Amino acid sequence: MAVDSRSVTALGARVLEAALDVWRRVARRAVIVAGPLHHTWRRSLHFRVVAITLVTSSLLVGAFAYLVATQSTNILLDRTRNAAVKQLQVDTDHAAEQLRGFNQAFDPQVQSSLGTIASYLSRGGPEQGGAIVALTSSRNPNLRAQAFDVSPLITPELAHTVAVDHRVADQIRTYDFGSGPTKYLVTGSPVPTGFGPIELYYIVPLTTEDQTAGQIRTMVLLTGAALVILLGVLSALVTRLVVRPVRVAARTAQRLSAGLLDQRMAVHGEDDLALLAASFNQMATNLQRQIVRLEEMSRLQRRFTSDVSHELRTPLTTVRMAADLIFAERDEFDPAVARAAELLQAELDRFEGLLTDLLEISRFDAGFAMLDAEPTDLVPVVRRVVDRLDGVSARAGVPVELTVPETPVIAEVDPRRVERILRNLVGNAVEHSEGRTVSVALGADDAAVAVTVRDHGIGLRPGEEKLVFNRFWRADPSRARQTGGTGLGLSISLEDARLHGGWLEAWGAPGQGAQFRLTLPVRAGDRLTSSPLRLVPPDVVPGHAVDARPASLEVTA
């Protein structure tokens, strides 16, 4: 009958698909079962120690049980084999003595003598727990005396060894004589006679030996299982004694980190764990003392800053009024006095900005800063910041490139704080751009909005991208200020970004400039997961640092 190859292919594809489906189900069940175990394995030291102890002890006890059971079985078998060989030798001598007077195999008395000998040597047969004795002749099949048909127990290999090689041999076979399958030890030996050699087979049931070996295996397995369980319980108890103080220390440390500085561990005894608890408590006491002292110092510092800032407002207002009057009449003074009036006005502006920033920082430190969020289009906010700093960038000779979407970018933000952040970022970029272009870009997606400010100045060394947000920190203290900053702008900007639930990040490389990225959630209160703009500019060459020294600078050895 012809078979369609397409049918065979379709059948094979269905079988393969069914096998893959079964495999996927098994894999899913394995993941469901192994998932919690893997989680527990990673999180519980107690579970790992007990599991390793159980696995290791199970392997060791299993190997020992196998060795004991095997050796016991071999010892029983060797003992039975030795007894069978000795009995076979006695029976062989008896059979040879009884058959010594016969010289012809066809003598009618030979067969009857063989039967008598076999019956005598069987000693009751298997019904009474005795052995089975069979007398056979490979040369004359008619000569055979056996109470049972034992031909299934005598293999050709065994018969050849006994009849042809004239050696004593044995083997173990399983056969059912009506009372169920039973193992037998079959031992054969040649019997010399006047009419030619015959074979005597001595067949011993191994029922007793099997029962004894089974009892030994059962006892070893039960003992091994009890030993493994005992080791598991002991390892669990010992591990708990060690792990429990560690867990208590971990929970106490968590409470300490949460601000509960009065938490301590209980000390019991004088062992190593008690020493650990005492040392931990001493450390907690020292930390509490230091934290309280630092909090008090911080509180006094914040109060001092706030009080000084407020107290300086009154004299500053008086000085400002006088300075404004002098500045308005500077054209009637000598050039030197007029220049001094201009410097006084500029420094008063800077001083007033510093006081404003200090007051803002004190509000952040005291936790009084509030966010006044409202839906705001950020495109005009970014444009307004760039336009207001146009005069500063023009005086510094720094062009500012602005890239914003053509459509509105709406986000729930505090426009005053966002504008302050961008004013600080763009002002710093103009100050550090070394006359090169500053790029400002606005981007948005469904969850976040971002603004990047990129300059091509001296850049930041590794590690300085975190330091730039510290108060009064400068990348190069030797550089002269161009815009008269207070040193608090980026710190305030970082706090404003955090108040929005956003990010303010910095990137920089020596000779490749720096870029700051402000990322804010579109909806107030949402959690940020990504930013629509890259922090590292796409034009950056990895591992390449540009020499940022002025061309006129000469270096001599």
User: What stretch of H or E contains 199?
Assistant: strand 198-205
pLDDT at 556 (0 to 100): 28
In the predicted model, what is the mean pLDDT of the chain?
A: 78
- Whether the per-residue pLDDT at 554 is higher than 60: the answer is no
pLDDT at 533 (0 to 100): 92
What is the reported pTM?
0.45
- Confidence tier at 331 by pLDDT (50, 70, 90): confident
- Coil, strand, or helix at residue 256? helix
Range scoring the smallest mean pLDDT among 45-49, 51-55, 296-300, 309-313: 309-313
pLDDT at 301 (0 to 100): 67
Q: What proportion of the chain, given as a percentage, has pLDDT over 90?
A: 12
Mean pLDDT of 361-375: 75
- Whether the per-residue pLDDT at 270 is higher than 70: the answer is yes
Tokens 């040597």 -> residue: 121
pLDDT at 251 (0 to 100): 81
| pLDDT tens profile 158-210 | 888 887 777 888 888 887 776 778 888 888 888 887 777 778 888 888 878 88
pLDDT at 106 (0 to 100): 64
Q: b/e string for 189-209 if b means 16 or more Cβ within 10 A?
A: bbbebebebbbbbbbbbbeeb
* Comparison of pLDDT for 92 and 475, the residue scoring more: 92
pLDDT at 272 (0 to 100): 74
| Whole-angstrom distance, CA of residue 43 vs CA of residue 347 | 60
| pLDDT tens profile 112-139 | 777 777 777 776 555 555 677 777 777 7
Q: Sort 20 into a burial class: Cβ within 10 Å, 0-12 / 13-18 / 19+.
A: exposed
pLDDT at 1 (0 to 100): 44
- Coil, strand, or helix at residue 401? strand
| Whole-angstrom distance, CA of residue 393 vs CA of residue 430 | 6
pLDDT at 549 (0 to 100): 32
* Comparison of pLDDT for 237 and 272, the residue scoring more: 237
Q: Can you give the length of the chain in residues?
A: 557
Give bridge partners of residue 204 from the DSSP assignment.
185
The greatest distance separating any two alpha carbons of the chain, rounded to the nearest whole angstrom, comes to 166
pLDDT at 550 (0 to 100): 32
| Whole-angstrom distance, CA of residue 470 vs CA of residue 460 | 14
pLDDT at 546 (0 to 100): 41
For the ranges 55-69, 166-180, 257-271, 518-532, the maximum mean pLDDT occurs at 518-532
Q: Which structural domains are found in the chain, ordered by start?
A: 44-261 (3.30.450.20), 264-369 (1.10.287.130), 371-475+487-521 (3.30.565.10)
pLDDT at 239 (0 to 100): 79
- Confidence tier at 253 by pLDDT (50, 70, 90): confident
pLDDT at 380 (0 to 100): 93
pLDDT at 379 (0 to 100): 93
Mean pLDDT of 86-112: 74
